Amino acid sequence: MTFRVSLVQQPLAWHDAAANRAHFDAVLAPLRGTTDLAVLPEMFTTGFTMQPGEFAEEADGDTRAWLLEQARRLDAAVGGSVAVVDRGRHYNRFMLATPAGELHTYDKRHLFRMGGEHRHYSAGGHALIIEFRGVRLCPLVCYDLRFPVWSRRRAGLDYDVVIYAANWPAARRYAWQQLLRARAIENQAYCVGVNRVGDDGKGVAHLGDSVVLDFLGQPLLELGSDACVATVPIDADAVRDWRDRFPAHLDADAFSLE
């Protein structure tokens, strides 16, 4: 079963949601009919803002509607994370829209303490698995990548593809590259990491390095530090066949999360 994944690695306009949506309108348009999943970076409408009181939008606001429209136009699932306010709390929320008009959400569990994210946003408490076109997707956000227990395949939450939307800075580039490979290998799953490029409003540089890795940790698609959009097919049957032939997951330790 072939499933096409598109990495949308782009710079972000600082604190300008309308400008970002207009930019992504243009870069997504050529993907119409050529992909099944388009992944945007973390906080793709604002950059990694610690001013959600001023720049977060309502959970049912313009970006939600925009994502649903993009999914309809492209005939593909489209997602990335957005700073939102929902019932008085702020969340770094991954939104995944489908052509059928469904909007699935995951709130970032691990908030980036060193950037003060835990002081401005509420943490999510539930993982999310979405089945789309026969492929099970698990969307996560940036700092979640450092926590293998939360990322792990486990009973009742089995997935084929784990996705990390990020604003991962150049200073920690090596960690980004190695942790993505680790998550692919230990979970015997495809791993998709989409990072932004360019400097944010605080002078922090981002070098992209977006990637699609197979279930052995081998790269199927690697992007450098330029703004670009690229697509690669993955084979969902191949990952399931590999798990049957090399069932390391059967020896995994049982655990519970608190």
Q: Looking at the whole model, is its pTM more than 0.85?
A: yes
First-residue to last-residue Cα distance in the chain = 36
CATH number at residue 240: 3.60.110.10
Does the residue 59 lie in any domain? Answer: yes
Does the residue 256 lie in any domain? Answer: no
The helix (run of H) or strand (run of E) holding residue 66 is helix 62-74
Question: pLDDT tens digits, residue range 22-78?
Answer: 999 999 999 999 999 999 999 999 999 999 999 999 999 999 999 999 999 999 999
Q: Where are the beta strands (DSSP E) in 40-198?
A: 57-58, 77-86, 89-97, 103-107, 130-132, 135-141, 161-166, 190-195
Does the residue 106 lie in any domain? Answer: yes
Does the residue 257 lie in any domain? Answer: no
Does the residue 258 lie in any domain? Answer: no
Does the residue 155 lie in any domain? Answer: yes
Does the residue 88 lie in any domain? Answer: yes
If one counts the domains in the chain, the total is: 1
Question: pLDDT tens digits, residue range 6-15?
Answer: 999 999 999 9
Question: pLDDT tens digits, residue range 66-119?
Answer: 999 999 999 999 999 999 999 999 999 999 999 999 999 999 999 999 999 999
Residue 257 has pLDDT above 90, yes or no: no
Does the residue 238 lie in any domain? Answer: yes
pLDDT band for 254, please (50, 70, 90 cuts): confident
Active site residues: 42, 108, 142
Range of the domain at 90: 2-251
